[in-house]
Amino acid sequence: MEIVICRLSAVITALSLSIIFLISPASILAQPDKYEVLAQATRLVNSGDLEGALVLYRQIPAPQENEEGGVFVRSRMEAAKIYFSMKRYDDSEQMCMEILRIYPDNLEAKNLIKQVATAQTPKWLGFLKDMQTYLPTLLRATVMTLILVIITMIVSPIAGLFIALGRISRVRFVSSIFWCYIWVFRGTPLLLQLFFIYYGLPPLGITLDPFTAAVLGLGLNYSAYLAEIIRGAIESIDPGQMEAAKSIGMTYWQAMRRIIVPQTYKRLMPPVGNEFIALIKDTALVSTIAMVELMRAADQIFNATFNIFILIQAAIIYLILTSIFTVSFKKLEDRLGVYENR
Amino acid sequence: MIELVDVVKRFGDFVAVDHVSLNIEKGEKIVIIGPSGSGKTTLLKMINFLQKMDSGRIMMEGEEVGYRRDKKGRLILEKPEIICRLRSEIGMVFQHFYLFPHMTALDNVMEGPVTVKKQSIKEAREIALDLLGKVGLLDKKDVYPAFLSGGQKQRVAIARALAMKPMLMLFDEPTSALDPELVGEVFNTIKALAEEGMTMLIVTHQMGFAREMADRVIFMDEGRFIFEGHSQDVFSDRMDNPRVKAFLDKVL
Ligand SMILES: Nc1ncnc2c1ncn2[C@@H]1O[C@H](COP(=O)(O)OP(=O)(O)OP(=O)(O)O)[C@@H](O)[C@H]1O
Ligand SMILES: [Mg+2]
């Protein structure tokens, strides 16, 4: 009987031990079940039970030494993302930190921490950061805007003077040619002219790159405007000046060059200054023919970031440019007027 | 020296200068008087080719100058080079000065010699300084016209015309735009020029010119010379032309 009881207890012990042994390897080593938990968690995520999934994810322990840690990283990353989407940024950051404590170089975790940082900064601060980030791009584009402005500022007064002189020619034929030129270029939108040059000429066998097309369009258009201003200025000079010049034996062209045109410089400054300020703004139109200048750069960045401050920044750059021009032209006007008694 | 023969100028139907003939001898001083709109300025401008005449002839040293005729006999101005050369030999002084405002007094006077005669800056400068000294404005040489009085402006204008060394000087009411107290200085400048023997044609309302320096006085009305004579004749009691008398009564 004793033997039987002994045997029984031994069996029970063995059984219980075997039960313990049967269960404990699963909870201590858990080699196959990590995956099961992960899969379970994923199922919960898919069914919408985020909290449940989070609990499961966090159950997956950190890997022991020499143990493969992929599942752990995966679980913490998933948890971090879920926290991030729930705007629980501290928890999200903590999940990432757990990964980084073991794998300090994990890129994914690092990136998410950065995102957490960005998400936690207020929106306007983010916008300000954008402005800082994109300022160099905008400034590079501003250089292109300035190049267009300066080329047009050099070309159009010279061409404008010739057109104006042609326009006031007493030879009917010459004057009507220039009249037509002015009529066309002042009477149609600059945008249309640019389109015509860039998109309309290739079918006629003339293909221009955006820069050439932009310079040509702005130059032709502004020459026409300046021609009318210069013509007005020339005609506003007292005809007695021409008579006096001729009376000392000057030819018409000598009189124009030495006497009449120089007297227009000062009175040209205010209207020409206005034109050039309009020009700075009009360069924005060439963004439509694939020219990357300030407007187009700002537009591109805006479309990528939807950051209204980029547009404000571009506006400020335009304002700075126009202000510099306004002041310079006023200075120039004063300097050109030294011979006047004020 | 210079002769106008049967010169006519029309503006549309209006005849501004009506068959006028005038012979100007070397060294002669002729004063033209007459009411406003009588064609005096137009006449002067035609002598200087600033106005194209419709018919007539302009002779210089006995030769017809300045115009060609087309097949129908109409007058055509000669090429600009020829006209400019002719003009450079005739100086003109305007009622409203027409100094070049963007140039100093000195540059105004130098402009003709430098640009038209292609003289060197140095040479032109010497001539200009000399002339500014003559009209008494050497101290104003670097002043812009806007800072000169009317009388000073007109004296610079006279120097500017003289710098071309003209053979004839035309004055179109040189003192009419001046304040009364400034008339004297310009008058004296012109008088000094007359005494040097310059040939001059002066259009004026200032009877002083007629009295003090005219060899001949011409009264012009409605585009015609209606009286011509010595200044003594014009101002004497024997003057019997009623239109001249009426005009003189008004201006004197
Ligand atoms: N370019 C022109 N076109 C049309 N008519 C003109 C022109 N120039 C002058 N006239 C007319 O010709 C006439 C003569 O003008 P002009 O200037 O020669 O007169 P004036 O004798 O000099 O008069 P004033 O004493 O007022 O200077 C005037 O009736 C004037 O209106
Ligand atoms: Mg006159």
- In terms of domains, do A114 and A177 share one? no
Q: Which of A86-90, A147-151, A301-305, A332-336 has the highest mean pLDDT?
A: A147-151
Mean pLDDT by 10 residues, chain B (252 residues): 94 93 94 92 95 93 91 90 94 96 96 95 95 94 94 96 96 92 92 94 89 90 89 75 79 70
Query: Model confidence at A25, in pLDDT bands (50, 70, 90)?
Result: very low
**Which residues does residue B91 pair with via DSSP β-bridges, in sequence order?**
B169
pLDDT of residue A324: 94
The confidence score (pLDDT) of residue A27 equals 47
Note whether residue A230 is domain-resident.
yes
Residue A269 in any domain: the answer is: yes
Query: What is the helix (H) or strand (E) element at residue B146, kind and residue range?
Result: none
CB-CB under 8 Å, A248 with B88: yes
Is A340 in contact with B161 (Cβ distance < 8 A)?
Answer: no
Do residue A74 and residue A134 come from a single domain?
no
Give domain limits for chain B: 97-165
Burial zone of A263 (CB within 10 Å; 0-12 exposed, 13-18 middle, 19+ buried) = buried
Based on the structure, what is the number of domains in chain A?
2
CA of B243 from ligand 2 middle (Å) equals 19
Distance B16 CA to ligand 1 centre (A): 7
- Do A273 and A183 share a structural domain? yes
A248 interaction partners in chain B (CB closer than 8 Å): 87-88, 91, 111-112, 116, 160-161, 163-164
pLDDT of A179: 97
What gap in Å lies between CA B185 and CA B154, rounded to an integer? 9
pLDDT, position A26: 46
Centroid of ligand 2 to alpha carbon of A306 (angstroms):
72
| Ramachandran angles phi, psi of B225, nearest 5° | -85, 115
Bridge partner list, B224: B221
pLDDT of residue A4: 55
Task: Please state, in angstroms and rounded to a whole number, the distance separating the CA atoms of residues A317 and A139.
Answer: 8
Task: Select the more confidently predicted residue: A172 or A131.
Answer: A172
> What is the Cα–Cα distance from B172 to A121, expressed in whole angstroms?
84
> Are A164 and A266 contained in the same domain?
yes
Is the dihedral angle over the CA atoms B244, B245, B249, B252 positive or is it negative?
Answer: positive
Tell me: do A175 and A68 sit in the same domain: no
pLDDT number for residue A12: 58
One domain, residues A281 and A327: yes
Average pLDDT rounded to a whole number, residues A186-197:
95
Residue from the list A240, A249, A341 with its beta carbon closest to the beta carbon of B98: A240
- CATH number for the domain harbouring residue A65: 1.25.40.10
Buried b (16+ CB within 10 A) or exposed e, A196-217: ebbeeeeeeeeebebbebbbbb
pLDDT band at A15 (very low <50, low <70, confident <90, very high): low
pTM: 0.79
Scanning the structure block, which residue is given the tokens 């501290």?
A90
Residues A137 and A106 grouped into a single domain: no
A132-180: pLDDT as tens digits: 888 999 999 999 999 999 999 999 999 999 999 999 999 999 999 999 9
Substitution target from A242, A243, A248, A266 for chain B, most B beta carbons within 10 A = A248
A328 and A222 in a common domain: yes
CATH number of A138's domain: 1.10.3720.10
Among A110, A28, A34, which residue's Cα sits nearest to residue A72?
A: A34
Domain-ending residue, one of A92, A120, A148: A120
Instruction: Identify the domain boundary among A120, A144, A176.
Output: A120
Between residues A10 and A266, the one the model is more confident about: A266
Q: Are residues A76 and A149 in the same domain?
A: no
Question: Does any domain span residue A9?
Answer: no
Mean pLDDT of A12-21: 54
pLDDT band at A18 (very low <50, low <70, confident <90, very high): low
Higher pLDDT: B116 or A73? It is: B116
Domain boundaries, position A110: 31-120
Find the ligand nearest to B51 CA. 1
Least confident of A54-58, A140-144, A292-296, B77-81: A54-58
Residues A62 and A199 in one domain: no
Interface contact flag, A248 B116, Cβ < 8 Å: yes
β-pairing, B29-33 with B224-229? unpaired
CA–CA separation, B242 and B237 (whole Å): 12
Question: Beta partners for B4?
Answer: B22, B58
Kindly determine whether residue B84 and residue A246, on different chains, have CB atoms separated by under 8 Å. Answer: yes
Q: Which residue has the higher pLDDT, A122 or A154?
A: A154
Q: Which residue has the higher pLDDT, B145 or A129?
A: B145
Q: What pLDDT, on a 0 to 100 scale, did the predictor assign at position A319?
A: 96
Same domain? A319 vs A202: yes
Residue A25 domain-assigned? no
What's the average model confidence in pLDDT over A284-306?
90
Q: Check residue B22 and give its pLDDT.
A: 94
A261 against A78, higher pLDDT: A261
Residue B87 CB less than 6 A away from ligand 1: no
Report which protein residue has its CA nearest ligand 1's atom 28.
B37
Q: Are B27 and B211 in contact (CB under 8 A)?
A: no
Does A19 map to a domain? no
Q: Is B176 in the pocket of ligand 1 (CB under 6 A)?
A: no
Q: What are phi and psi of B222, to 5 degrees?
A: 50, 40
Residues A257, A323, single domain; the answer is yes
User: A92 and A61 in contact (C-beta within 8 Å)?
Assistant: no
C-alpha of residue B206 to centroid of ligand 1, in Å: 19
Q: For position B119, what pLDDT does the model report?
A: 95
The residues with which B77 forms a beta bridge, in sequence order, are B67
Rounded to a whole number of angstroms, the distance between the first and last alpha carbons of chain B is 32
